[in-house]
C-alpha cells in the first residue's frame, strides 16, 4: 500500500504542464461530484496501480513498472479516436480510461484479475451483474451543474431523450433532490467519464470539453446504467486480438477481460457497439493498432461514437424492462422486437424500419429538410425538454429561447426497398458523383432476392469518403443472417499478412473495393451515413446470385 501510494503521488507530479492547483483539481473534482472522500479515492487509486502492475508483470516480467508509468503519463491516451483524450488530472483514478470505480467494484476487479492470472479460464458472462447496481426507482433523477453551458445541456438532453425513446427507462430533471436519494449530476469536468451502474446518492457524469458528441454522451450514460466496455466481455478475444506490443505499457490492464462482474444477458458480441474501444485505444504512438478485429472487414467499425447500436439498446431493455409484450413478439421481423413501453411499436435493427421492420429505415437529412422541426430548450423557465415550434422556414423570435434542428425525413431517392433479379440494378449515395453527398445524411436500402438465392454487391465508377480509422462517413454492409448486428464498414482484404494481422482497406476512404460481396441469405442491408464532410460517395450494382464469395480468416 505505501509503495503504491507513493507511486500515485509521483505520477500526479509528472503530469505535464500541471500547476500545484490543478494537480489536486482531479481529486477535488471527484470529491465534489461523486460524494466520495479522500480515503476512498486513495484506495481506488492504489488498487488501479496494483492492477496495472499485475498486467505489466505478465507481459514485461521484471521490467520496472514505475519508469514506464511515468513515461506513459506524458503521452496522450484515449479509448477511441472518436472520444477525447483522457485528461491527466483524473487519469490515476479512472479504470479503462473513462470509468470511476466504486471501492467495492475496484476490490472485486482486483480479486478477479488476481485469480485469473493464477488460473487461466473464462466463462460466458456487457451489463454489470451486481443487482444492487441497477437503478431501482423510475424515473431516474438527474440535474445539471452550473458548469455546463447551453450547448452541452442541449446535447445531454438529446442523449437522454434517445435512451428514453428506445428503452423503458425514463429520466426526470430536478433541481432539488432530497438527501439520501439517488441521482445523476451532469457536470463539465476534466474529460468524459462516469461510474458503472447506480452507486447510491449523488454520482456524476463528466461531460467535459469536446465530450458533447451524441455518441460520447450516450456512452457515458450507458456506463451509469450498468454497461461495461464491450471488449471487456469474456468472449471478446474470439472477435478481437489485443496487440500488446503497441499499447502504452502501463495501460495493459485496461484490456483485460472479466466474467464475474459482466453479464452478456445472452446477447452476442457487437463490434459496432458504442461501448467498444477503438482500434488505436491507448496506442503508444497514437496510430498503431492495439485492437485488431478477427474479421478484418470490421476493423474500422470498432470505436464508433455515432449512436447506440441495436444490441446496446437491447442489453438495457433486457436488464431493466418487464416482458409485457410477449403476444407481440412475432409481429416484428428481421430480429426486431416490441418496444417495452409501447408494444404496438417495433424496435428495429439499424437500416430497417416500418411498423414491423419489414421496410428500410426512413432516410434522414439532419437539419436540412423543410419539414425539420425547431426544437428549443427553455433555460429561463427551466422546462425539462424540447418544444416543437414548427418548420425551420419560420423565424424563431420568442425572447429567451434558442433553437436548433432535429433530424427529419429526406427525399425518396435516398434509400428504399429493392427486389433484385439476375440483371444488375443501381443504387448510389445522394448527389453521386457531383456535387456529391452533404454532411449529416443517412440512407438505408433493404435488398431482397428470391428465396434460396443470394445478393451480389459490387462498387463501380467512383468511390470517395472521408478517411478515418473509425469510419465516420461510410457505407455499411450487412450480409449475414443476423441483421441485428452491426455490419462491416471496411473492405478489400489484400493478400498480405504481417504478424498474423490481415491488411485491409477502409470503405470510408478513397480506394474503390474491387471484389464483389455476396450475402449469406436472400436479404441484405446497405446503409450510407455522412457525419462530417461532403464527398463523392459511392455507386453500387446489385443482382441476384447463387455464388458465395465473401470469406474471412480467423
- Quote the percentage of the chain above a pLDDT of 90: 69
Is residue 334 pLDDT above 70, yes or no?
A: yes
Q: Which of the following is catalytic: 220, 373, 456, 476? A: 220
Residue 114: the pLDDT is: 83
Write the CA distances from 496 to 239, 294, 499, 501, integer angstroms: 20, 15, 10, 9
Nearest to 197 by CA among 261, 100, 260, 128: 128
According to DSSP, residue 99 is labeled B
For residue 496, the model assigns a pLDDT of 36
223 is in an annotated binding site: yes
Confidence of residue 7 (pLDDT cuts 50, 70, 90): low
Lowest-pLDDT choice from 75-84, 265-274, 302-311, 503-512: 503-512
pLDDT of residue 403: 37
Residue 407 scores a pLDDT above 60: no
20-24, 32-36, 256-260, 385-389: lowest mean pLDDT where? 385-389
Residue 359, C-alpha cell as written in the block = 421496410
CA 88 to chain centre: 22
pLDDT at 160 over 90: yes
Say which residue, 291 or 129, is predicted with more confidence. 291
276 is in an annotated binding site: no
Least confident of 223-227, 236-240, 364-368: 364-368
- Give the confidence band of 503 by pLDDT, cuts at 50, 70, 90: very low
**Sequence-distant (≥ 6) Cβ neighbours of residue 343 within 8 angstroms:** 324, 325, 327, 328
Residues 6 or more apart whose CB falls under 8 angstroms from that of 206 comprise 29, 33, 90, 187, 188, 189, 190, 191, 192, 193, 194, 220
- Stronger pLDDT, 374 or 536, i.e. the higher one: 536
Task: Provide mean pLDDT across the span 29-51.
Answer: 96
pLDDT the model gives residue 21: 36
Average pLDDT of the chain?
84
Average pLDDT over residues 381-392: 36
Q: State the pLDDT confidence band at 79, using cuts at 50, 70 and 90.
A: very high
Confidence (pLDDT) at 326: 80
Query: Average pLDDT, stretch 319-341?
Result: 89
56 is in an annotated binding site: no
* 412 compared with 95, residue with greater pLDDT: 95
Q: Are strands 342-347 and 337-339 parallel, antiparallel or unpaired?
A: antiparallel
With a cut of 70, say whether residue 130 has pLDDT above it.
yes
Question: In this predicted structure, what is the pLDDT of residue 489?
Answer: 86
**Ordered domains of the chain (ranges, CATH):** 1-321 (3.40.390.10), 373-405 (no CATH), 411-554 (2.60.120.290)
Question: What pLDDT is recorded for position 413?
Answer: 75
**Residue from 516, 528, 517 nearest 475 by CA:** 528
Residue 377 has pLDDT above 50, yes or no: no
Rounded mean pLDDT, 370-375: 31
C-alpha cell at 398: 420568442
pLDDT at 295: 92
The pTM of this model reads 0.86
* pLDDT tens figures, 269-293: 999 999 999 999 999 999 999 999 9
Confidence band for 441, pLDDT divided at 50, 70 and 90: very high
What is the DSSP code (8-state) at residue 526?
E
Mean pLDDT over 381-405 rounds to 35
Residue 467 banded pLDDT, cuts 50, 70, 90: confident
Mean pLDDT of 316-339: 89
Nearest to 207 by CA among 280, 138, 255, 150: 150
Report the chain's C-alpha Rg in angstroms.
Answer: 24
Confidence tier at 513 by pLDDT (50, 70, 90): confident
Q: Residue 495 catalytic?
A: no
Which pLDDT score is estimated for 120?
A: 54
Q: How distant is the alpha carbon of residue 500 from its chain centre?
A: 27
Q: What pLDDT, on a 0 to 100 scale, did the predictor assign at position 260?
A: 66
Amino acid at each position: 500500500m505505501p509503495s503504491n501510494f507513493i507511486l500515485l503521488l509521483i505520477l500526479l507530479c509528472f503530469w505535464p504542464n500541471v500547476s500545484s492547483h490543478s494537480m489536486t483539481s482531479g481529486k477535488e473534482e471527484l470529491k465534489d461530484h461523486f460524494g466520495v472522500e479522500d480515503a476512498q479515492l486513495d484506495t481506488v487509486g492504489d488498487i488501479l496501480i496494483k492492477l496495472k502492475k499485475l498486467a505489466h508483470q505478465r507481459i514485461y516480467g521484471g521490467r520496472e513498472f514505475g519508469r514506464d508509468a511515468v513515461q506513459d503519463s506524458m503521452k496522450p491516451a484515449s479509448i477511441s479516436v472518436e472520444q477525447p483524450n483522457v485528461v491527466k488530472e483524473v487519469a490515476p483514478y479512472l479504470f479503462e480510461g473513462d470509468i470511476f470505480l466504486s471501492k467495492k467494484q475496484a476490490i472485486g476487479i482486483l480479486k478477479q484479475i488476481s485469480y485469473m492470472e493464477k488460473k487461466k479460464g473464462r466463462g460466458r458472462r456487457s451489463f454489470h451483474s451486481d443487482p444492487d447496481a441497477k437503478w431501482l426507482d423510475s424515473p431516474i433523477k438527474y440535474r445539471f451543474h452550473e458548469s455546463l453551458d447551453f450547448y452541452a445541456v442541449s446535447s445531454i438532453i438529446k442523449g437522454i431523450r434517445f435512451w428514453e425513446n428506445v428503452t423503458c427507462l425514463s429520466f426526470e430533471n430536478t433541481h432539488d433532490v432530497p438527501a439520501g436519494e439517488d441521482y445523476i449530476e451532469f457536470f463539465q469536468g476534466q474529460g468524459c467519464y462516469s461510474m458503472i451502474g447506480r452507486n447510491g446518492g449523488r454520482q456524476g457524469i463528466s461531460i467535459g470539453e469536446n465530450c458533447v458528441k451524441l455518441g460520447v454522451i450516450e456512452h457515458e450514460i450507458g456506463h451509469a446504467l450498468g454497461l461495461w466496455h464491450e471488449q471487456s466481455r469474456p468472449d471478446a478475444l474470439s472477435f478481437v486480438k489485443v496487440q500488446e506490443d503497441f499499447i502504452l505499457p502501463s495501460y495493459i490492464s485496461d484490456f483485460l477481460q472479466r466474467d464475474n462482474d459482466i453479464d452478456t444477458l445472452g446477447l452476442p458480441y457487437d463490434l459496432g457497439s458504442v461501448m467498444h474501444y477503438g482500434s488505436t485505444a491507448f496506442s503508444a504512438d497514437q496510430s498503431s493498432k492495439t485492437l485488431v478485429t478477427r474479421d478484418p472487414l470490421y476493423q474500422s467499425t470498432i470505436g464508433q461514437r455515432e449512436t447506440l447500436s441495436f444490441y446496446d439498446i437491447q442489453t438495457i431493455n433486457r436488464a431493466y424492462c418487464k416482458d409485457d409484450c410477449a403476444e407481440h413478439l412475432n409481429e416484428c421481423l428481421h430480429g426486431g422486437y416490441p418496444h417495452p413501453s409501447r408494444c404496438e411499436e417495433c424496435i428495429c435493427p439499424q437500416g430497417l424500419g416500418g411498423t414491423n421492420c419489414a421496410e428500410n429505415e426512413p432516410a434522414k437529412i439532419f437539419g436540412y429538410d423543410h419539414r425539420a422541426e425547431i426544437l428549443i430548450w427553455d433555460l429561463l423557465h427551466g422546462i425539462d425538454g424540447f418544444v416543437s415550434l414548427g418548420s425551420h422556414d419560420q423565424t424563431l423570435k420568442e425572447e429567451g429561447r434558442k433553437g436548433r434542428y432535429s433530424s427529419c425525413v429526406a427525399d425518396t431517392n435516398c434509400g428504399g426497398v429493392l427486389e433484385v433479379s439476375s440483371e444488375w440494378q443501381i443504387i448510389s449515395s445522394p448527389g453521386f458523383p457531383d456535387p456529391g453527398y452533404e454532411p449529416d445524411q443517412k440512407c438505408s436500402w433493404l435488398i431482397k432476392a428470391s428465396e434460396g438465392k443470394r445478393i451480389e454487391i459490387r462498387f463501380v465508377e467512383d468511390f470517395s469518403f472521408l478517411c478515418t480509422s473509425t469510419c465516420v462517413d461510410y457505407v455499411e454492409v450487412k450480409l449475414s443472417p443476423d441483421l441485428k448486428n452491426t455490419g462491416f464498414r471496411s473492405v478489400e482484404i489484400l493478400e498480405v499478412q504481417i504478424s498474423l494481422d490481415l491488411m485491409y482497406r477502409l470503405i470510408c476512404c478513397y480506394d474503390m473495393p474491387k471484389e464483389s460481396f455476396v450475402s449469406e441469405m436472400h436479404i441484405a442491408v446497405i446503409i450510407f451515413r455522412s457525419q462530417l464532410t461532403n464527398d463523392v460517395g459511392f455507386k453500387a450494382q446489385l443482382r441476384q446470385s447463387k455464388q458465395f464469395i465473401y470469406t474471412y480468416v480467423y
